[in-house]
Chain A
Amino acid sequence: NAGVMQNPRHLVRRRGQEARLRCSPMKGHSHVYWYRQLPEEGLKFMVYLQKENIIDESGMPKERFSAEFPKEGPSILRIQQVVRGDSAAYFCASSPGQDPRYFGPGTRLTVL
């Protein structure tokens, strides 16, 4: 899983700011998943993307959250107007096929 890159590893934002989380999948992988993990809780599915397409965003809040996976460059998870409840670890996973095979190291978001 060392091949999946996420940055930043730690991100601190004040309430109302924007958080932008980046995920570079392993080479050759065109499937990206985003998950959120709260302490003592399981991984919660947010969104599943393939290159330039959102396949399933049913786990993502309708407001303030958006995701993209452009033809070139990393996948981006964007959280606008962050609130304290957004504080969590956000993991992306990439795969050559349809399962979240390799996870990145995660971005730990803290909202002050």
Chain B
Amino acid sequence: QKEVEQNSGPLSVPEGAIASLNCTYSDRGSQSFFWYRQYSGKSPELIMSIYSNGDKEDGRFTAQLNTASQYVSLLIRDSQPSDSATYLCAVNRGNQFYFGTGTSLTVIP
């Protein structure tokens, strides 16, 4: 079983819509959770981190953590074409950071 699972997509949403990205993790000992955005051919860029159950909002982004169900999600409100990228979920346990394979998002103008 993979440490972190993401639906690879592709996920397509129209401009202005809400994009919902989901991630599940296997180990209940995971301590903190991260979302990265990676444009094609570029390096990952940290966009959100969340450390406790519930929601965390930052601009158009909201991270949601549910430790009971072992999932973390990222909502992107008012999606823009510039949001088109691969979104990587990562979880931390001790010194280890485990990344999912990413979900490809396309925002259609």
List residues of chain A with CB under 8 Å of any chain B CB.
1, 33, 35, 40-45, 48, 55-56, 58-59, 91, 93, 98-106
Q: How far is the CA of A99 from the CA of B35 in the complex (A)?
A: 12
Q: How far is the CA of A6 from the CA of B76 in the complex (A)?
A: 31
Q: How far is the CA of A103 from the CA of B44 in the complex (A)?
A: 6
**In the complex, which of the residues B46, B88, B100 contacts A102, with contact meaning CB atoms closer than 8 Å?**
B46
Q: How far is the CA of A23 from the CA of B44 in the complex (A)?
A: 15
- B44 A91 Cβ-Cβ under 8 A: yes
- B43 A99 Cβ-Cβ under 8 A: no
- Chain B, Cβ-Cβ closest to A98: B95
List residues of chain B with CB under 8 Å of any chain A CB.
4, 32, 34, 36, 42-46, 49, 88, 90, 92, 94-102
- B101 A45 Cβ-Cβ under 8 A: no
- Chain B, Cβ-Cβ closest to A48: B95
**In the complex, which of the residues A41, A45, A55, A105 contacts B97, with contact meaning CB atoms closer than 8 Å?**
A45
Residues of A within 8 A of B42 (CB): 105
- A42 B46 Cβ-Cβ under 8 A: no
Interface centre among B42, B90, B99 (most CB of A within 10 A): B99
- A56 B96 Cβ-Cβ under 8 A: yes
- B43 A42 Cβ-Cβ under 8 A: no
- Chain B, Cβ-Cβ closest to A92: B43
**In the complex, which of the residues A1, A40, A102 contacts B101, with contact meaning CB atoms closer than 8 Å?**
A40
- B101 A41 Cβ-Cβ under 8 A: yes
- B99 A1 Cβ-Cβ under 8 A: no
- B34 A99 Cβ-Cβ under 8 A: yes
- 30 A-B residue pairs with CB within 8 Å: A1-B43, A40-B101, A41-B101, A42-B4, A42-B88, A43-B44, A43-B88, A43-B90, A43-B99, A44-B99, A45-B96, A45-B97, A45-B98, A45-B99, A56-B95, A56-B96, A58-B96, A59-B96, A93-B44, A98-B92, A99-B32, A99-B49, A99-B92, A99-B97, A100-B90, A103-B36, A103-B43, A103-B45, A103-B46, A105-B43
Distance to closest chain A CB from B71 (angstroms): 17
Residues of A within 8 A of B102 (CB): 42
- Chain B, Cβ-Cβ closest to A58: B96
